Amino acid sequence: MLELRVQTQARTQLLDITTLVNERLSGSDAQLVVVFVPHTTAGVVLQAAGANATAVAADVEAALERIVVESWPWKHTSEGDRNPWSHVRAVLTGSSLTIPLERGALALGNLQALFLCEFDGPRERTIRLTLI
């Protein structure tokens, strides 16, 4: 298993980690990688990026903030939780993806990029990569 650490900059943020992951996978002869985020307030998604898709990440961030509102009367705040909305946002994105590899790199579509989804930042996050 390989591991990456990244620093997020905002409470809610989609951080493009495609280049970091590809750098870490360089030289691998594996066929698949499982990308796993071991956090209950973060997730991982594939989404559009690059030319003609530069605002997609910001739109996804804004949509998740509108879909899951921080000011709702969250039940588990009574248990001392300070960030209940971030758990729900993480459920909507998921904690892992399996992605095919081609010559040691993510075999993504033309506009696809791999994003870490931060919902309780800023903070340092871990990404685990399991090669198959």
What tokens appear for 49 in the block? 């990026």
CATH number for 16-131: choose from 3.40.309.10, 3.20.20.100, 2.60.120.460, 2.102.10.10: 2.60.120.460
Domain ranges of the chain: 16-131
pLDDT value for 80:
86
Q: Is the peptide bond before 38 cis (omega within 30 degrees of 0)?
A: no
Q: What is the pLDDT of residues 81-96, one digit of tens each?
A: 899 999 999 999 999 9
6-24 pLDDT, tens per residue?
A: 999 999 999 999 999 999 9
pTM of the complete model: 0.95
**What's the rounded Cα separation, in Å, for the pair 102 and 74?**
44
> What confidence score (pLDDT) does residue 78 get?
87
